[in-house]
Amino acid sequence: MSGVVESADHEQVVFCRDRASGLHAIIAIHSTALGPALGGTRFHPYSSEDDALSDVLRLSRAMTYKAACAGLDLGGGKAVIIGDPAKLKTEPLLRAYGRFVESLAGRYYTACDVGTFPDDMDVIARESRFVTGRTRTHGGAGDSSELTAFGVFMAMRAAAAHTWATPSLRGRRVGIAGAGKVGRRLAEHLIADGASIVVADVANAAVDQLRARHPDIEAEDPQKLLARDLDVYAPCALGGVLDDETVPALRAEIVCGGANNQLAHAGIATLLRDHGVLYLPDYVVNAGGLIQVADEIAGFDERRARARAEKIFDTCQRILAMATDHDITPARAADHLAEQRIAEISRPRGSWRPNQATAPQPREVAP
């Protein structure tokens, strides 16, 4: 069974239940003004359905803005599966979820997120045509963390150019919170550019693995990294790390990382500016992953996707120039840029319908 509820800011919210497999999921479509909604499926043990709903509504809205700023003809959506993936993730559950995705007839494309991986997308794709972020074996682009990290690096270069009049991070100290897939790949880009790295992660094994490859990287306690003497602070783990208490302790001049929802609330963007910290909005910075899975819909071309991700540098420069010219925060400038594109493009199109000729064409359901 699925139930649909109204949201003041969303086109559609679908509650998905399959008792046989234990599936309990929510799919949120925020906007299809620019095209079908695209966003990952997060598999997480939320403490309640209300918490899951709050998260999926916030994340799907951010995807709308992310796609718009990235110049993609896609809208914003997201899904959450409620539960511990280590205990509940099974083929029947993923296939049941795939049937719900298919029932939306292309208004929503799903992909990987926290707790889901390309192999999971291959299973979901056995029930739905509207799946991306798949393994290379099944024609996908594989792990999107590589292009995500590359996009973060491009954004960081733009922030450096704005702050220090050079796009290079050579000689700068960058603190990376999170030594997972994105944080690890970001560190490699920064080391190649001549930066020194301080890394922190609650998983000691992830830090040890990174330092085994790059012994010059310094390890730090996750609770202490934010207050270190850094040039750049790069949140690449969970969101919400920047709040009313942590911002005054922040010593970096730039905040630029791959984590979603880095700000505890919208007012933190102003607080960061008041403390002399340049913050680039996470949904602009980490758009490389979205660019990759979006490119995969019509058949992945690595050069094309990388070239588009490289333009994150230009987008960030435009946002920072707009913020300076209008005396607003970069977060507000990014919102304005996204809203402007949505307003301009959506006027002749309205919300997206499955039979529109301009829709991306999905591949056939994989066996």
Dig out the tokens for 113 from the structure. 């997120």
| Residue of 66, 78, 89, 181 with catalytic role | 78
224 belongs to the catalytic site = no
What residues are annotated to the active site? 78
